[in-house]
């Protein structure tokens, strides 16, 4: 199963008010394991960069001025995405910008049926807890010390690790669910099966206490102060 973990950086919060996509980072997973294949690109937004947005991701208008337009790189992006499910943190935000940019260059939008939102998954797994990417990295012991500012590819790499934890952790890579070892299907020399009925029955072991052990037990019981299992009269009787 192929999935794409992705993240975006933008000039703001609302593409309908003129904000644009400025960075895209993608990580390929196959069977929830990173393959090493990535996609990363900066885009010229053809507009100014608000100071608040630049403080988050550090991408200045000057830095982006010589970068390609989204339309110039859309084909290679779509080729990388393919028809795989797309995983993002607060995915509607990222899908909103991605689909807006696709619409600007005359490409069909990506269906929300392909959307996997890790915020929704985290809320279900950890109700009442913090669900930011930083909080989830702390919860799962994922090193984010190199994350000084937000970056699309860096955040996608961190999110890939979080997503793996949210979906069962590294155990999923063992393929245990796909393995079906049975007497009928396994090769004769690959598995040894011993049923309980084939084992020889062992006679029960009888342990008889020694007389001195019984005497020690009787004295111990007599020394108990008001035991729960008997009355005063019963306690004085020989054991």
The C-alpha atoms of residue 160 and residue 153 are separated, in whole angstroms, by 10
Q: Which residues are catalytic?
A: 150
- Cβ-based neighbour number of residue 1 at 10 Å: 8
Query: What is the DSSP secondary-structure string of 34-82?
Result: EEEEEEEEE---SS---HHHHHHH---HHHHTTSPPHHHHHHHHHHHHT
The residue written with tokens 């797309």 in the block is: 86
The C-alpha atoms of residue 87 and residue 102 are separated, in whole angstroms, by 18
CA 134 to chain centroid, in Å, comes to: 14
CA angle, 80 as apex, 104 and 1 as ends, to 5°? 125
On whether the CB atoms of residues 138 and 25 are closer than 8 A, the answer is no
Residues 6+ apart with CB under 8 A from 221: 227, 235, 239
């Amino acid at each position: 199963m192929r999935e794409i973990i992705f993240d975006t950086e933008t000039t703001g919060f609302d593409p309908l008010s003129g904000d644009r996509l400025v960075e895209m980072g993608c990580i390929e997973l196959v069977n929830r394991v990173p393959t090493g294949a990535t996609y990363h690109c900066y885009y010229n937004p053809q507009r100014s960069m608000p100071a608040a947005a630049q403080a988050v991701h550090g991408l200045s208008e000057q830095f982006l001025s010589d970068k390609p337009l989204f339309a110039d790189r859309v084909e290679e992006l779509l080729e990388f995405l393919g028809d795989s499910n797309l995983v993002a943190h607060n995915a509607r935000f990222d899908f909103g910008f991605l689909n807006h940019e696709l619409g600007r260059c005359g490409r069909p939008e990506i269906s929300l049926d392909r959307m996997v939102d890790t915020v929704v998954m985290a809320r279900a797994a950890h109700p009442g807890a913090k669900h930011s990417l930083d909080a989830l990295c702390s919860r799962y012991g994922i090193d984010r010390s190199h994350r000084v500012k937000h970056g699309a590819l860096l955040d996608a790499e961190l999110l890939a690790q979080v997503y793996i934890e949210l979906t069962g952790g590294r155990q999923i890579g063992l393929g245990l669910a796909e393995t079906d070892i049975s007497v009928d299907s396994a090769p004769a020399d690959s598995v040894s099966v011993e049923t309980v009925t084939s084992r020889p029955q062992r006679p029960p072991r009888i342990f008889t206490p020694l007389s001195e052990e019984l005497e020690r037990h009787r004295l111990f019981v007599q020394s108990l102060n008001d035991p729960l299992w008997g009355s005063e009269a019963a306690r004085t009787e020989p054991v």
